[in-house]
Each structure stands twice: as structure tokens, then as C-alpha cells.
Amino acid sequence: MERNSPWFSTIALTAAFVATAAGDPTIDASKSSIIATFRQESVPVDAPLKRFNGRIDYNAAQPNAAKAALEVDTGSLDLGSTDYDAEVRKKAWMDSGTYPKASFISTSVKPGAAGHFDATGTLTLKGKTQTLTVPVTVGKAGSTMVFDGAFEISRAYFGIGDKEWNDVVDDKVKVRFHLVE
């Protein structure tokens, strides 16, 4: 029931956006993940976003020149039930028919300690935009670059969810990402 919550899809999409802002050349979606976590009836629910793509251009010698763009399929949120998945695609939740894609495009990167930076960019979801700054950790797995981070969004800000769910599903959704180039 929790993974099937409609607002989880919002978190998953946002995670995908931020992850792209953190990175390097082309994201390998088969090795990457974006997971939205929300609380439904005070129980945490993790819901992955299954379809996303993007590009991260990152050079450790010039981290402030990094650029990222990510696009997420709003109908790919997996709540573990076809009934719940269909529900979150409806107009009151993700409105995937009208807004089939969500996106994140970086506008600036601020270097931090070694292997860390803050990516600022624009998240577009369900026809609304929000500027986000996401802390990102950069690592290597063999010869590939890996970008990890998390951010939080407000379900209400993006107009996601029927009002009768407000006492059942928390407004805040945490999006975690692990992006592999």
C-alpha cells in the first residue's frame, strides 16, 4: 500500500532530475537508480522511477563548469501494484497524460570539499518549476563516474495528490539518486 501511494511518483521524478544535475557524460539507466521516499500513515515507502535518461558533463579539474540535464517518464513510478501505479498517473496526482515528462536542468555548480559539489538547477514537474540546490558526492566505480545525492520536494507545491490523502501521505518527499555514467 505504501509504495503504491500517488505522491511517491513525484519524489521519484524529482530524484531523477537532481541526479542528472550532479554528473558526467551519459547516464547509464541500467546501473543507476532514482528512489522517492515518502511517509504514508507514518510508514516510510520507497518507490523507484523506472524510466529516465540524461547527460552529465563533469570534469574533476573544473567542477564549476559541470552541466547536467535529466528527463524522467512520469508514468514510470513503481509502487508495486498496477492499481496504485494507474492511480498515480491520474490528473490529481502526476497527470502523466498531460505531463508525460519531468526534467531537471542545471544552471550552476558550486565546488565543495574533494568529491563534493552543490548543483543548482530548475526542476519542472506537472507544469510547475522550482529552483533546487542539491548536494552531490562524486566517486568512481572502475572507470565510470558515480554521482550520489538526495533532495526533498513538497507534494503540495507541485499540486500532486487528492486533498483526502493529506492526512494519510506526508507532504515532503525525499528523492535519492545514484547515477552512473
Domain boundary assignment for the chain: 8-180
- Assign domain 8-180 to a CATH class: mainly beta
More confidently predicted of 24 and 48 = 48
Extract the C-alpha cell encoding 151.
533532495
Does an H or E element contain 12, and which?
helix 8-21
- pLDDT tens for each residue of 81-124: 999 899 989 999 999 999 999 999 999 999 988 889 999 999 99
How far is Cα 41 from Cα 29, in angstroms, rounded to an integer?
31
With CA atoms as reference, report the closest residue to 39 among 175, 156, 170.
170
Say how far residue 105 (Cα) sits from the centre of its chain.
12
The alpha carbon dihedral of 45, 48, 54, 55 has a sign of positive
User: For residue 45, what pLDDT band results from cuts at 50, 70 and 90?
Assistant: confident
pLDDT at residue 6, as a whole number: 43
Question: Is 160 in contact with 46 (CB distance < 8 Å)?
Answer: no
Report the distance separating Cα 178 and Cα 181, nearest Å: 10
User: How long is the chain?
Assistant: 181
14-18, 34-38, 136-140, 170-174: range with lowest mean pLDDT = 14-18
CA dist 42 → 39, 90, 156, 162 (Å):
5, 24, 18, 18
The answer to whether the CB of 12 falls within 8 A of the CB of 96 is no
pTM of the model: 0.82
Q: What is the pLDDT of residue 21?
A: 40
pLDDT for the residue 162: 82
What mean pLDDT value characterizes the chain?
85
Amino acid identity, position 58: Y
Rounded Cα gap, residues 122 and 115, in angstroms: 23
